[in-house]
Amino acid sequence: MGHVDHGKTSLLDRIRKANVAAGEAGGITQHIGAYRVDTTKGPIVFLDTPGHEAFTAMRARGAQATDVVVLVVAADDGVMPQTREAVNHARAAGVPIIVAVNKIDKPGARPDQIRQELSGLGLQPEEWGGQTLFVNVSALTGVGVEQLLESIALQTEVMELRAKPDAPAEGVVLEAYLDKGRGVVANVLVQKGTLNQGDLLLAGVGLGRIRAMTDDRGRRMKNAGPSMPVEVLGLPDLPMAGDQFFVVGDQKKAMELVDARKKAAAAKAKTTSAKGLEDLYKMMAAGEVQELNLVIKSDVAGSVEALVKALTELSTAKVKVNVIHTGVGGITENDVMLASASKAIIIGFNVRPAGQAGAVAKSEGVEVRSYSVIYEALDDVKKAMQGLLAPVYKQKELGKAEVRKVFVLPKAGAVAGSYVLEGSVKRGGKARVVRDSVLVWEGAIASLRRIKDDVREVTAGFECGITLDGFNDLHELDIIECYELEQVAAQL
Ligand code: GDP
């Protein structure tokens, strides 16, 4: 990832060329969305979709195809808007970043300056006591490329990435298209297990048997193990980039799964539109979310800073406010996809969605809130956070009844012939049994009768028959206290 023209494509090309064996040079290299590169530390697969846009679009579909992000920054330029965006997108995904300081061959290269600037974004170079690996490279001359590959290997060693080759394959669709002669062509990355020709593959909502597989050098493959990118033929339906795939054993089970997925997709299409802040409260409260992710866009840098500061200060012990990305300018499709992938709300201060961003937000179910007064933005977020907190219930006392006589009926069990002393007793209400001022039981009222009829409520001064849900040990002169639980909005 990285800013435009900082050398992502050139670096990928350089890595690929350096790795093609002499005999293969000039031979066909298939474009299949990823390159597999052999290093002394083992193979590394580079996704050939340089840019945080594709990365985040995939993540929004639920796929994390990347273990490490290589951030390319031109040494003669510096941290640019898309550099910052890339950092935020990688960070939101929780993927570690390795920095390739590119164009080191250029006379104006200032690699230390780049380190300085990125430190400001929280990427402290390891050589300065931080956590991030920085490598000076030149895609033009090839300087440092070997070291970059080593750093990637080093980083992944620390992460202990492991996959079982001897299991049914799982992975992610990198891209897919319809070819006139060959039908659906899906370029996939195997993440777990081994994919075999003839396997029954479920990708997106499509199920089909693998007819043929080809690797990134155009070689026919019978099997593809973990981290292999391959081109797959044989799927009947076009999957989407970011769709996860699985190998399934049983056609019937798989069809059930396809049906369930189709239904889920249809349901999602219905529910993702027109999501209000109200829905958000409920959703978040139900999901026991403890974090509120925000993307903040504004017309001027000053108000971005003010908003970030004020909003993050709203964090409490229970809910943490994370500002995952900020920027100056209209709300873009990228912002929306990042929000979608990170379940974030977008706050626009004096800015609106640009181009297709509004439509994409709607289809992705991302909430975009526009404000022109900082206080209003703060107030709404505060409310959203109240939705984040688990609902709080308050007991509302309804009334008291005294047990005057206990009847035991064969079916109903113990019935408390009672007299309502104050307030009222309600069917469906909660009850406490108090004997000599000591609480002996707490539960719910099972039934409530006046004479022979079931009733909803009996008020003070009347007699009634009460049965309690699961409690028969009633005594004369017990007090039955009736109350209700009321949900109140949680206060911060
Ligand atoms: P991308 O937009 O990030 O994919 O950038 P490109 O790979 O297209 O590179 C942008 C420009 O920078 C091209 O003109 C490249 O030739 C040039 N470039 C890329 N890497 C280097 C490098 O290491 N040294 C020099 N001098 N130029 C480079």
Q: Tens digits of per-residue pLDDT, 127-136?
A: 999 999 999 9
Q: What is the pLDDT of residue 296?
A: 93
Tokens of 426: 């309600």
Residue count of the chain, please give it: 492
**Terminus-to-terminus CA distance in the chain, angstroms?**
39
Query: Can you tell me the distance from the alpha carbon of 326 to that of 440, in angstroms, rounded to the nearest whole number?
Result: 57
Query: Can you tell me the distance from the alpha carbon of 171 to that of 174, in angstroms, rounded to the nearest whole number?
Result: 9
Ligand 1 site, residue 140, Cβ cutoff 6 A: yes
Tokens of 471: 């409690």
* In the predicted structure, residue 192 carries a pLDDT above the cut 80: yes
Least Cα distance to 366 among 334, 390, 398 occurs for 334
- CA 27 / ligand 1 centre spacing (Å): 24
pLDDT tier for residue 21 given thresholds of 50, 70 and 90:
low
pLDDT tier for residue 282 given thresholds of 50, 70 and 90:
low
Amino acid code (one letter) for 274: A
pLDDT tier for residue 53 given thresholds of 50, 70 and 90:
confident
Ligand 1 site, residue 354, Cβ cutoff 6 A: no
Least confidently predicted of 66-70, 170-174, 256-260, 431-435: 256-260
Compare 288 and 239 and report the one with higher pLDDT.
239
Compare 389 and 462 and report the one with higher pLDDT.
462
CATH of region 393-488: 2.40.30.10
Per-residue pLDDT averaged across 383-411, rounded?
81
Residue nearest to atom 9 of ligand 1 (CA): 7
Regarding the domain with residue range 280-388, which homologous superfamily does it belong to in the CATH classification?
Translation initiation factor IF- 2, domain 3 (3.40.50.10050)
Q: Which long-range contacts (CB under 8 A, 24 or more apart) does 137-140 make?
A: 137/11, 137/100, 137/101, 137/102, 137/104, 138/102, 138/103, 138/104, 138/105, 139/7, 139/10, 139/11, 139/13, 139/14, 139/102, 139/103, 140/10, 140/14, 140/103, 140/105
Q: Which of 5, 12, 73, 77 to mutate to test the pocket of ligand 1 (most atoms within 8 A of CB)?
A: 5
Question: CATH class for domain 8-159?
Answer: alpha beta
Average of per-residue pLDDT values in the chain: 85
Cα 378 to chain center, whole Å? 24
Query: Can you tell me the distance from the alpha carbon of 88 to that of 122, in angstroms, rounded to the nearest whole number?
Result: 11
Tokens of 270: 């219905």
* In the predicted structure, residue 250 carries a pLDDT above the cut 50: yes
Strands 453-454 and 438-450: antiparallel
* In the predicted structure, residue 25 carries a pLDDT above the cut 50: no
Q: What is the pLDDT of residue 270?
A: 43
| CATH 3.40.50.300 domain residues, the chain | 8-159
Residue nearest to atom 19 of ligand 1 (CA): 7
Q: Tens digits of per-residue pLDDT, 100-119?
A: 999 999 999 999 999 999 99
Q: Which of 5, 10, 104, 147 to mutate to test the pocket of ligand 1 (most atoms within 8 A of CB)?
A: 10
Q: Tens digits of per-residue pLDDT, 317-372?
A: 767 888 989 988 889 998 999 998 888 889 998 888 888 899 999 988 888 888 88
Percent of the chain with pLDDT over 90: 42
Q: What is the pLDDT of residue 391?
A: 56
Q: Are 242 and 217 in contact (CB under 8 A)?
A: no
Least confidently predicted of 22-36, 39-53, 182-196, 254-268: 22-36
Bridge partners, 194 (sequence order): 168
Ligand 1 site, residue 6, Cβ cutoff 6 A: yes
Ligand 1 site, residue 124, Cβ cutoff 6 A: no
Per-residue pLDDT averaged across 44-69, rounded?
81
Task: State which H helix or E strand residue 482 sits in.
Answer: strand 479-488
Question: Using alpha carbons only, how large is the chain's radius of gyration in Å?
Answer: 31
Backbone angles phi, psi at 451, to 5 degrees: 55, -110
Compare 301 and 209 and report the one with higher pLDDT.
209
Least confidently predicted of 55-69, 256-270, 419-433: 256-270
Identify the DSSP state of 189. Answer: E
Query: Can you tell me the distance from the alpha carbon of 106 to that of 403, in angstroms, rounded to the nearest whole number?
Result: 93
Compare 58 and 332 and report the one with higher pLDDT.
332
Per-residue pLDDT averaged across 207-218, rounded?
90
| CATH 3.40.50.10050 domain residues, the chain | 280-388
Query: Can you tell me the distance from the alpha carbon of 464 to that of 459, in angstroms, rounded to the nearest whole number?
Result: 9
Backbone angles phi, psi at 70, to 5 degrees: -100, 115
CATH of region 170-270: 2.40.30.10
- CA 130 / ligand 1 centre spacing (Å): 28
* In the predicted structure, residue 160 carries a pLDDT above the cut 60: yes
Least confidently predicted of 242-251, 387-396, 449-458: 387-396
Q: What is the pLDDT of residue 27?
A: 47
Least confidently predicted of 37-41, 185-189, 365-369, 430-434: 37-41
Q: Tens digits of per-residue pLDDT, 285-325?
A: 555 456 788 999 988 888 888 889 898 888 877 678 889 89
Bridge partners, 189 (sequence order): 172, 229
Residue nearest to atom 18 of ligand 1 (CA): 7
Query: Can you tell me the distance from the alpha carbon of 403 to that of 420, in angstroms, rounded to the nearest whole number?
Result: 9
| CATH 2.40.30.10 domain residues, the chain | 170-270, 393-488
Ligand 1 site, residue 102, Cβ cutoff 6 A: yes
Q: What is the pLDDT of residue 141?
A: 95
Query: Can you tell me the distance from the alpha carbon of 10 to that of 140, in angstroms, rounded to the nearest whole number?
Result: 7
Q: What is the pLDDT of residue 274?
A: 28
Least Cα distance to 2 among 83, 79, 74 occurs for 83
What totals of helices (H) and strands (E) does the chain contain, helices first? 11, 27
Query: Can you tell me the distance from the alpha carbon of 101 to that of 378, in angstroms, rounded to the nearest whole number?
Result: 39
Compare 258 and 246 and report the one with higher pLDDT.
246
Residue nearest to atom 16 of ligand 1 (CA): 10
Q: What is the pLDDT of residue 293?
A: 86
4 CA: nearest ligand 1 atom: 2
Cα 447 to chain center, whole Å? 45
Q: What is the pLDDT of residue 20?
A: 59
